[in-house]
Amino acid sequence: MYAAFLVLVGLAATLVLETLVFLPLFCKKDGCFIGAFYCVNAATNVSLNFLLSLAMYVLSALGCDLRYEAPAAFLFGCCTVLLEVLIVWIEYAVLRRFHPYPNLLGYVAGANLLSAVAGSALVAVCLSLF
Amino acid sequence: MTESLLDVAVWPIITLGVGFVILAVAVVAAAVILLVVLLKKKQKRDEAARRAAQDPPGGTAEEGAFAAVFAPPAAGEERGAGETPRGARSENGVPSAQNADNAPGHSPAQNAGDAPVQNADGAPAGPPAEGGER
């Protein structure tokens, strides 16, 4: 229940933050593009969070605590970055089919970077608090 | 003892885990389905826009072809050799006599050859002198 709540909160926060970045493109009022943006973001964000939660669950089941195991935390971070890059490319490939705006890849990368930094800060705060 | 531990600790975790997986899969599946629907909708919209750009105005292609053949030429459209559009001025600044309503080429009486058409001031119709005013 706690994990599901975190996933939904993370999804909402991601959508809000990425909407801020995509506002210049949303001003063109292309309904299909806006709908596709939210759909592909929901799909990629939930998939990524699900994979990360699963990895953390497996690590904790193996007795590895990421807060105290530096190599495991480093590996976890590297995998997260690689998955984020993959997600940026997937989102760009999907959104380009709806409208190939100039600098679309930059918008997608910037939005995901902002979302990832905010998510990392949120996780750091949660880990320090609990 | 073992059964009580399973009842208390394991089954809620499994239930929550399965629920979490179902929730995640449902969200992703709904997003992907909606994405496919949006993509098809956009393809239909693009197809309709492309068809509208290809078809001439006036509905069907036959109506468009009829309008293109029988419609009067629009203002500024090319009419023929040596003619200027109605209302346009020739090179010397005088309105085009051929396009005036009392011009020889537009008068039914003169075209029939009965009598020369008079202008309002009584002067015979025809093109004014080069660069002159009547």
Give tens-digit pLDDT for A20-39: 999 998 888 888 899 999 99
Mutate to test the interface with A, among B20, B33, B39 (most CBs of A within 10 A): B20
Mutate to test the interface with B, among A32, A41, A49 (most CBs of B within 10 A): A32
Give per-residue pLDDT as tens, B21-71.
888 888 899 999 998 999 999 889 889 999 998 876 555 555 555 555 665
- Residue B114 maps to a domain: no
Closest to A95 in 3D by CA, of A41, A46, A48: A41
- Contact list in A for residue B27 (CB cut-off 8 A) is 11, 42-43, 46
Q: Tell me, what's the ipTM? A: 0.77
Structural domain of residue B41, as residue ranges?
Answer: 2-68
Contacts of B16 (CB under 8 A, 6+ apart): A1, A3, A4
Stated as kind and residue range, the H or E segment containing B23 is helix B11-54
The count of domains in chain B is 1
Record the tokens describing residue B92, joined without a space: 């010397």
pLDDT greater at residue B88 or residue A97: A97
Contacts of A64 (CB under 8 A, 6+ apart): A72
- Residue B120 maps to a domain: no
Half-sphere exposure of B51 (CA within 13 A, CB side): 9
What percent of chain A has a predicted confidence (pLDDT) above 90?
35
Is the pLDDT confidence value at A57 over 70?
A: yes
- Residue B50 maps to a domain: yes
Give per-residue pLDDT as tens, B60-94.
555 555 555 665 555 554 544 444 444 444 445 45
- Residue B124 maps to a domain: no
Q: Of A60-64, B9-13, B101-105, which gets the smallest average pLDDT?
A: B101-105
> Do A43 and B16 make contact, defined as CB atoms within 8 angstroms?
no
What percent of chain A has a predicted confidence (pLDDT) above 70?
96
Question: Counting beta carbons within 10 angstroms of the beta carbon of residue B53, is it exposed (0 to 12), middle (13 to 18) or buried (19 or more)?
Answer: exposed
Is the pLDDT confidence value at A98 over 60?
A: yes
pLDDT for B70 equals 62
- Contact list in A for residue B32 (CB cut-off 8 A) is 39, 43
pTM of the model: 0.61
Half-sphere exposure of B58 (CA within 13 A, CB side): 11
CA angle B34, A94, A80 (to 5 degrees): 100
